[in-house]
């Protein structure tokens, strides 16, 4: 059962009209998830919103918030003898301090794109003389899949499989944004697929402690429009609460089996986010029982001295302080073909989405 | 990265399942959703089923959108 194009159009107009009616003052809404950023552009949602409603991207593109230090460590891994790097495709083109995985691959490093962490186990089985390092990047949605893969590696007795974890947790980044004196966020579109794993509890602090409206939402155009409508209703009423718009997928308790696997294999640690610095308890590291799978500990790494690209304002984009066009590199020295920063590389990156879908011209001429 | 696609489980053997997503079939792990059964709709991410899709809630969402559509058409 699906809505027809006409039905979808009329429902969208209902939400858009309601949003317009309620937008009596300028409001800034942050879409935390990179997948939302892309969905908003693809559906042309900005075109339906009045100028009072500003959408800003947040820290929910995992490749974008991964600092250069991690890329440099991954490059150092790729230079180790008899080592295979297994990675999601997005990571390949992210510039490190002096090189990228793509450049290393061109020079002969064995770097393979995988679509599931389980693919890296297959590579490890087929190459018993080599060490296979999976670049584990992603939030609560992805981290349990890497954790389950570690459990599989243990079950299969694989001794040549390793993980280089850059996994991160989304709520601590929201805490950092809300605690910053320069953040001006009036409402959050919260990431549906991280909440599908963690449940709603980790997000309750947004409305309860910070009095900022928040809606967990899905990824269809109508889901997002309805979520913005629900945020505007809360803002108008001055009654911030956490609303679950994505009830068909997000259960209040999340996915307990996935959380069990996650907590068995990983433990929270302080970690560095691009643009934020260290955020307490926001990273995931292998627990003592699984430390033997930690690539950073198992391989002899000689890493470059890490530095972030000069003039790149990715960090401010990720904190919702500026829109991509506010960066002097944007569309000039930084394009998807020649990215300066990670936000222009990942398909979920705010800069890449702005560039691909009209350079944000709809409301920011 | 958090992109996930809906699919229907058409077969399962222990912790692996065959799922159908818009006519494309593939193998996914059920390690993170051990209670999923043949016929269930699930969300697939990075080779794993990560959550079941509640059909009743999905219908309710569609019904809500249809109701809104009727309201918009009448007004």
CATH number of the domain bearing residue B35: 2.30.30.140
Per-residue pLDDT, B71: 72
User: Can you tell me the mean pLDDT for B16-23?
Assistant: 94
Pairwise CB contact (< 8 Å): B1 & A248 = no
A183 lies in which domain range?
1-355
Q: How many helices (H) and strands (E) in chain B? A: 1, 5
* B69 closest CB neighbour out of A7, A17, A196: A7
The string of pLDDT tens digits covering residues A249-272 is 999 999 999 999 999 999 999 999
Residue A325, domain CATH: 3.40.50.11740
CA A171, A145, A275, A55 torsion-angle sign: negative
Q: How many helices (H) and strands (E) in chain A? A: 16, 11
Give the pTM.
Answer: 0.94
The string of pLDDT tens digits covering residues A28-59 is 999 999 999 999 998 889 889 999 999 999 99
Residue A25 has pLDDT above 80, yes or no: yes
Pairwise CB contact (< 8 Å): A255 & B65 = no
Mutation target to probe the B interface, by most B beta carbons within 10 A, among A248, A250, A348 is: A248
Q: Which residues of A232-260 are buried (b: 16+ CB within 10 A; e: fewer)?
A: bbbbeeeebebbbbbbbbbbeebbebbbe
- Least confident interval from A211-215, A239-243, A298-302: A298-302
How many domains does the structure of chain B reveal? 1
B38 lies in which domain range?
5-74
How many domains does the structure of chain A reveal? 1
Q: How many percent of chain A have pLDDT more than 90?
A: 81
A362 in a structural domain? no
Return d(Cα A197, Cα A141) in angstroms, integer. Answer: 6
A365 in a structural domain? no
A325 in a structural domain? yes
The residue with tokens 């974890």 is A165
Per-residue pLDDT, A2: 80
Q: How far is CA B37 from CA A118, A297, B11, B30, in A?
A: 21, 40, 8, 10
Return d(Cα A70, Cα A272) in angstroms, integer. Answer: 9
For the sheet with A242-244, list strands across it: A53-60, A27-33, A187-191, A214-217, A242-244
The burial class, CB within 10 Å (0-12 / 13-18 / 19+), for A333 is middle
Does B31 contact chain A (CB < 8 Å)?
yes
């Amino acid at each position: 059962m699906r809505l027809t194009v006409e039905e979808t159009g009329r429902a969208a107009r209902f939400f858009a009209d309601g949003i317009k009616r309620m937008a009596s003052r300028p409001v800034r809404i942050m879409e935390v998830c990179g997948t939302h950023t892309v969905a908003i552009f693809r559906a042309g949602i900005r075109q339906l919103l009045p100028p009072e409603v500003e959408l800003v991207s947040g820290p929910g593109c995992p490749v974008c918030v991964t600092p250069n230090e991690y890329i440099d460590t991954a490059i150092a891994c790729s230079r180790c003898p008899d080592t295979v790097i297994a990675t999601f495709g997005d990571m390949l083109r992210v510039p490190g301090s002096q090189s990228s995985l793509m450049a290393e691959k061109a020079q002969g490093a064995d770097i393979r794109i995988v679509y599931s962490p389980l693919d890296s186990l297959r590579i490890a089985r087929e190459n018993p003389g080599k060490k296979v390092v999976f670049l584990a990047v992603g939030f609560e949605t992805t981290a349990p899949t890497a954790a389950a893969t570690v459990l599989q590696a243990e079950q299969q007795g694989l001794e040549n499989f390793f993980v280089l974890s850059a996994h991160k947790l989304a709520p601590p980044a929201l805490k950092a944004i809300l605690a910053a004196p320069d953040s001006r966020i009036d409402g959050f579109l919260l990431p549906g697929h991280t909440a599908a794993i963690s449940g709603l509890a980790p997000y309750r602090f947004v409305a309860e402690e910070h009095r900022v409206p928040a809606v967990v939402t899905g990824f269809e155009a109508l889901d997002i429009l309805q979520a913005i409508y629900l945020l505007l209703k809360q803002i108008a009423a001055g009654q911030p609460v956490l609303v679950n718009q994505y009830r068909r997928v997000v259960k209040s308790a999340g996915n307990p089996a996935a959380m069990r696997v996650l907590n068995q294999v990983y433990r929270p640690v302080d970690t560095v986010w691009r643009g934020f610095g260290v955020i307490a308890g926001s990273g995931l590291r292998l627990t003592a029982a699984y430390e033997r799978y930690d690539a950073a500990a198992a391989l002899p790494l000689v890493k470059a001295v890490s530095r972030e690209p000069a003039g790149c304002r990715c960090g401010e984009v990720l904190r919702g302080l500026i829109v991509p066009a506010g960066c002097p590199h944007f569309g000039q020295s930084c394009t998807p073909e020649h990215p300066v920063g990670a936000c222009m590389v990942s398909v979920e990156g705010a800069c890449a989405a702005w560039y691909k879908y009209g350079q944000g011209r709809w409301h920011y001429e | 990265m958090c992109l996930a696609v809906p699919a229907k489980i058409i077969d399962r053997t222990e912790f692996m399942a065959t799922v159908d997503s818009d006519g494309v079939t593939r193998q996914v792990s059920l390690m993170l959703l051990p209670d999923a059964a043949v016929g269930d709709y699930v969300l697939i991410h990075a080779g794993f089923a990560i959550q079941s899709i509640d059909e009743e809630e999905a219908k309710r969402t569609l019904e809500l959108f249809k109701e809104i559509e009727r309201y918009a058409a009448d007004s």
